[in-house]
């Protein structure tokens, strides 16, 4: 599908200090949009100046959260080129999420072409200092003018880009995590394993309460028994337990993170033993007390690899130190080295954005 490009006549002023880039609050000059209805399919693919768009006040996205999204990053390589990391996995996951939410499929080749064309146009916005990147947010929403609970009549797929630094305000400093014992995020059969806005809306209250107590995020337990570790608000979680890299298995209620998958694959090829299984919260505490739990960290596109310094549950804490642990450090250096083109990529994960 041809992508029409309308360039802005009023380019924004670019950031001057990359060290001050936070996460997701600054946007580039342009955005991608395409429309869908059953009669026409996807049509009018276009890149336009970044701007608000109008939707009907009765739109199902506003009332019933008919929405899915993705998150990936473009990195500046030392040779000046710009690269994406396994973008085809984000395109595939968007369609898996869309299927669960009764939204239309969008050809993965079109998604990738839209990302490439937009990032190519915005390549001057991709920052270069360590820990920075251009965060890319594709999303699809259901639009229409009927309040009945039904599939949407129209859909909009759009992509916006945000030059970003660290997801957590304290950078790579270990985060403090509250293990939630009252609210739940997802249950098997629900939507926890897809990337849809409602999951995050439902998580907000617990996250706000945890923030009031000084925690950075919430670690969710399974929704049925409140017993097994699931994931953190915006990242999957991993532990070094008895020398092995252990992470909750994808049982249907947690997001199958692309960083999770990549870190597991990397760890295996670096010779670590990896285990995907249920991890009861009690086991974590007894492993901590017996010295078997040596590291905990979150993994995600926005969060990269974030060491966890404290895990608090019902007033008791696991304290894991104020610096990144040795396993997380090796994985962080290798993963970010590949993502930014500093290290060779034997896995074929990097995807240089073509210049048009
Ligand atoms: N879990 C949740 C709930 C997330 O929002 C994210 C972020 O995308 C992740 C895990 C990590 O997924 P990925 O590594 O694909 O970014
Ligand atoms: C990401 O890592 O891409 C995320 O989606 C995090 C976001 C929910 C803030």
- What pLDDT score was predicted for residue 316? 98
Smallest Cα–Cα separation from 305: which of 313, 295, 294? 295
CA 70 to ligand 2 center in whole angstroms: 8
Task: Decide whether any atom of ligand 1 lies within 6 Å of the 71 Cβ.
Answer: yes
Residues 146, 205 within the same domain: no
CA 233 to ligand 1 center in whole angstroms: 8
Alpha carbon nearest to ligand 1 atom 7, residue: 234
Domain count, the chain: 2
Task: Decide whether any atom of ligand 1 lies within 6 Å of the 300 Cβ.
Answer: yes
- What pLDDT score was predicted for residue 104? 98
Six-digit token pair at 309? 């310094």
Residues 241, 130 within the same domain: no
- What pLDDT score was predicted for residue 161? 98
Residues 196, 333 within the same domain: yes
Of 164, 220, 301, 303, the residue with max ligand 2 atoms within 8 A of its CB, to mutate for a pocket test, comes to: 301
Say whether pTM exceeds 0.85.
Answer: yes
- Do the beta carbons of residue 73 and residue 85 sit within 8 Å? yes
Ligand nearest to the CA of 133: 2
Ligand nearest to the CA of 298: 1
- Ligand 2 atom with minimal separation from the 200 CA: 8
- What pLDDT score was predicted for residue 118? 98
Residues 192, 319 within the same domain: yes
**3 state DSSP class of 222:** coil
Position 258 in a domain: yes
Q: CA-CA distance, 47 to 158, in Å (whole number)?
A: 9
Task: Decide whether any atom of ligand 1 lies within 6 Å of the 70 Cβ.
Answer: no
Residues 221, 248 within the same domain: yes
Smallest Cα–Cα separation from 218: which of 323, 209, 256? 209
Task: Decide whether any atom of ligand 2 lies within 6 Å of the 22 Cβ.
Answer: no
- Ligand 2 atom with minimal separation from the 303 CA: 2
CATH number of the domain that residue 123 is part of: 3.30.470.10
Q: CA-CA distance, 137 to 301, in Å (whole number)?
A: 11
Of 190, 235, 253, the residue with max ligand 1 atoms within 8 A of its CB, to mutate for a pocket test, comes to: 235
**Domain limit, last residue, from 164, 194, 220:** 164
Ligand nearest to the CA of 135: 2
Q: Are strands 4-5 and 41-49 parallel, antiparallel or unpaired?
A: parallel
CATH number of the domain that residue 267 is part of: 3.20.10.10
Residues 159, 228 within the same domain: no
**3 state DSSP class of 138:** strand
Position 250 in a domain: yes
Six-digit token pair at 177? 């995590």
Task: Decide whether any atom of ligand 1 lies within 6 Å of the 310 Cβ.
Answer: no
Position 350 in a domain: no
- Do the beta carbons of residue 261 and residue 234 sit within 8 Å? no
Residue-level length of the chain: 356
Residues 194, 323 within the same domain: yes
- What pLDDT score was predicted for residue 28? 98
Position 211 in a domain: yes
Task: Decide whether any atom of ligand 2 lies within 6 Å of the 301 Cβ.
Answer: yes
Of 301, 331, 335, the residue with max ligand 1 atoms within 8 A of its CB, to mutate for a pocket test, comes to: 301
3-state SS string over 96-134? Answer: HHHHHCCCCCCCHHHHHHHHHHHHHHCHHHCCCCCCCEE
Six-digit token pair at 29? 């000059």
CA 321 to ligand 1 center in whole angstroms: 24
Task: Decide whether any atom of ligand 2 lies within 6 Å of the 71 Cβ.
Answer: yes
Residues 323, 239 within the same domain: yes
Six-digit token pair at 165? 């630094």
- What pLDDT score was predicted for residue 286? 98
Tell me the residue range of the domain where 191 lies: 175-339
Position 349 in a domain: no
Q: CA-CA distance, 299 to 307, in Å (whole number)?
A: 9
Task: Decide whether any atom of ligand 1 lies within 6 Å of the 255 Cβ.
Answer: yes
Residues 244, 298 within the same domain: yes
DSSP structure string for 308-333: EEEEEETTEEEE--SS--HHHHHHHH
Q: State which residues of the chain have pLDDT below 70.
A: 170-171
Residues 159, 182 within the same domain: no
- Do the beta carbons of residue 142 and residue 66 sit within 8 Å? yes
Task: Decide whether any atom of ligand 1 lies within 6 Å of the 231 Cβ.
Answer: yes
* C-alpha R_g of the chain: 21
- Residues in CB range of 214: below 8 A, 6 or more apart: 176
Residues 269, 148 within the same domain: no
Alpha carbon nearest to ligand 1 atom 5, residue: 234
Position 266 in a domain: yes
- Ligand 2 atom with minimal separation from the 257 CA: 2
Position 33 in a domain: yes
CA 146 to ligand 1 center in whole angstroms: 32
Position 356 in a domain: no
Residues 144, 256 within the same domain: no
CA 205 to ligand 1 center in whole angstroms: 19
């Amino acid at each position: 599908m041809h992508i029409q490009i309308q360039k802005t006549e009023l380019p924004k002023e670019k950031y001057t200090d990359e060290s001050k880039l936070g996460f997701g609050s600054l946007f580039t000059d342009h955005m991608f949009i395409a429309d869908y209805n059953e009669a026409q399919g996807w049509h009018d693919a276009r890149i336009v100046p970044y701007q608000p768009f109008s939707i009907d006040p009765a739109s199902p996205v506003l009332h019933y959260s008919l929405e899915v999204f993705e998150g990936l990053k473009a990195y500046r390589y030392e040779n000046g080129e710009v690269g994406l990391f396994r973008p085809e996995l984000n395109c595939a996951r968007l369609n898996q999420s869309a299927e669960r939410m009764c939204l239309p499929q969008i050809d993965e080749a079109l998604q990738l072409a839209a990302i490439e064309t937009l990032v190519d146009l915005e390549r001057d916005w991709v920052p270069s200092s360590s820990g920075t990147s251009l965060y890319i947010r594709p999303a699809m929403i259901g639009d229409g003018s009927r309040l009945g609970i039904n599939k949407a009549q129209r859909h909009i797929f759009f992509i916006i880009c945000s030059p970003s630094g660290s997801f957590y305000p304290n950078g790579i400093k270990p985060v403090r995590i509250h293990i939630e014992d009252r609210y739940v995020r997802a249950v098997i059969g629900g939507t926890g394993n897809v990337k849809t806005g409602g999951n995050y809306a439902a998580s907000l209250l617990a996250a706000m309460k945890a923030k009031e107590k000084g925690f950075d995020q919430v670690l969710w337990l399974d929704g049925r028994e409140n017993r097994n570790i699931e994931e953190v608000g915006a990242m999957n979680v991993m532990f070094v337990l008895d020398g092995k890299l252990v992470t909750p298995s994808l049982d249907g209620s947690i997001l199958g993170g692309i960083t999770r998958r990549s870190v597991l694959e990397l760890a295996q090829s670096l010779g670590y033993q990896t285990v995907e299984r249920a991890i009861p919260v009690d086991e974590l505490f007894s492993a901590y007390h017996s010295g078997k739990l040596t590291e905990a960290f979150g993994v995600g596109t926005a969060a990269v690899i974030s060491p966890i310094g404290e895990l608090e549950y019902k007033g008791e804490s696991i304290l894991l130190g104020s610096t990144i642990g040795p396993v997380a450090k090796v994985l962080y250096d290798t993963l970010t080295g590949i993502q930014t083109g500093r290290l060779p990529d034997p896995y074929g994960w990097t995807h240089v954005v073509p210049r048009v």
